[in-house]
């Protein structure tokens, strides 16, 4: 089973994925981030990498992403890439993802990708107030991704917000379930996990 979790930056996608992981059998559930499949930009100068639009669908290595989803669906392991946000390049190391019964894929644009969407059994959209999402992004990018406050704000208003309105928010129409407030929505998480359990263990 492949579960796609989309939503705007800072909406709580990762929190939802981790809540599902905690509720279900850890050995049977794996999580991969769509961000891991950003195209490798090591071949261009750092200042050019900094100026690229990473919130556009064309920023992702779709071929590798689709191939890995197909491999997991066939019960085969994959070597998931690792992305370095501070340098906008792909690391040499990979993460081994063993065959599993449930693969959770989370990222802002996972439901925008039609080919990937068709491989998903459950599609979720996490919806959170824009002010809350911006505050979370500021904290994350400054503390975890070595960005300055000014650069994060500039990127948000010039790129992130316009791309959200153009590409991310419209994908709500593809979701089987819209989860307001992400991982803090206990009722929605419980209903979701119950549904996944029934799909995995039909009576």
DSSP 201: S
Quick one: pLDDT band at residue 21, thresholds 50, 70, 90?
confident
Give the 3-state DSSP-derived string for 124-187, with helices as H, strands as E and coil as C.
Answer: EEEECCHHHHHHHHHHHHHHHCCCCHHHHHHHHHHHHHHHHHHHHHHHHHHCCEEEECHHHCHH
Q: What is the pLDDT of residues 143-199, one digit of tens each?
A: 877 788 888 888 889 999 999 999 999 999 999 999 987 767 888 888 888 888 887
* Nearest CA among 150, 127, 41 for reference residue 87: 41
Mean pLDDT over each residue of the chain, to the nearest integer: 90
Q: Distance between CA atoms of 189 and 195, rounded to whole angstroms?
A: 10
Distances (CA, A) of 50 to 71, 79, 141, 197: 32, 26, 14, 43
Average pLDDT over residues 41-63: 91
Q: What are phi and psi of 81, to 5 degrees?
A: -70, 160
Q: Distance between CA atoms of 7 and 175, rounded to whole angstroms?
A: 10
What structural domains and CATH numbers belong to the chain? 2-197 (3.40.50.300)
Of the chain, the percentage scoring pLDDT greater than 90 comes to: 53
Average pLDDT over residues 12-28: 83
Average pLDDT over residues 2-29: 86
Q: Distance between CA atoms of 19 and 35, rounded to whole angstroms?
A: 19
| Counts for the chain of helices (H) and strands (E), in that order | 8, 7
**Cβ 178 vs Cβ 127: under 8 Å:** yes
Helix%, strand%, coil% for the chain, nearest 5 = 50, 20, 30
Quick one: pLDDT band at residue 25, thresholds 50, 70, 90?
low
Q: What is the pLDDT of residues 69-110, one digit of tens each?
A: 999 999 999 999 999 988 889 999 999 999 998 999 999 999
């Amino acid at each position: 089973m492949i579960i796609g979790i989309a939503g705007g930056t800072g909406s709580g996608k990762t929190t939802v994925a981790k809540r599902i992981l905690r509720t279900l059998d850890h050995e049977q559930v794996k999580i991969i981030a769509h961000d891991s499949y950003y195209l490798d930009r090591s071949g261009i100068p750092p200042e050019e990498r900094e100026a690229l639009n990473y919130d556009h669908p064309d920023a992702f290595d779709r071929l590798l992403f689709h191939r890995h989803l197909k491999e997991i669906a066939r019960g085969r392991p994959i070597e998931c890439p690792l992305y370095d946000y501070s340098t906008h390049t792909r690391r040499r190391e990979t993460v081994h993802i063993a065959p599993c019964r449930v693969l959770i894929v989370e990222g802002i644009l996972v439901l925008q990708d039609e080919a990937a969407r068709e491989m998903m059994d459950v599609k979720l959209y996490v919806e959170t107030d824009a002010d809350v999402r911006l505050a979370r992004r500021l904290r994350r990018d400054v503390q975890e991704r070595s960005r300055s406050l000014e650069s994060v704000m500039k990127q948000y208003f010039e790129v992130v917000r316009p791309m959200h309105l153009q590409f991310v928010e419209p994908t709500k129409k593809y979701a089987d379930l819209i989860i307001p407030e992400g991982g803090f929505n206990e009722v929605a998480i419980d209903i979701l996990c119950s549904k996944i359990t029934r799909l995995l263990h039909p009576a």
